[in-house]
Structure 1
Amino acid sequence: MKKKNISQYYLLKNGLDNKTLDSLKKGKNITLVTLERLCHLLDCTPNDVINFYD
């Protein structure tokens, strides 16, 4: 978000709700639909947003 100069306010006004944004900040699970929406808003790929851990 910082690299693209996108605020939380922008995400909230364009389809993400407070609960989802809170989950993202806390590192909780999100749905693939949310991931798709986030990638669309940030103009990025899922690899830019998520990390997989063993």
Structure 2
Amino acid sequence: MGDKRKNVYSGSISYSRLWETMKRRGITKQDLKKENFNLSPTLVNRLVKNENVAVDTIMYLCDKLDCQPCDILEYKK
């Protein structure tokens, strides 16, 4: 009952596909902080540093960018 899955994995998440998708659409990192996206500077910083973000954030970006999660992130071993 008290067993918890340990985060045992060797890879990491990269958001380089997000920056590529945004570049193709003429969207900048600064645009993410403006009214159309309204992401906090802290959240944008987490994306820049390839840190964990909530699935809700990925869903939000997919909706706003009209794309799929594979257009935003990838798992790298």
TM-score, normalised to structure 2, is: 0.61
More strand per residue: 2
4+ long deviations beyond 6 Å:
none
Q: Kindly indicate whether structure 1 or structure 2 has the higher relative contact order, using CA contacts under 8 Å at least 6 residues apart.
A: 2
Structure 2 unaligned blocks of 5 or more: 1-21
Provide the alpha-carbon RMSD of the alignment: 1.3
Can you give the 5+ residue segments of structure 1 that lack an aligned partner in the other structure? Answer: none
Q: Which one has the bigger helix percentage?
A: 1
- Work out the percentage of aligned pairs sharing the same amino acid: 31
Aligned residues: 54
Structure whose alpha-carbon radius of gyration is higher = 2
TM-score by length of 1: 0.82
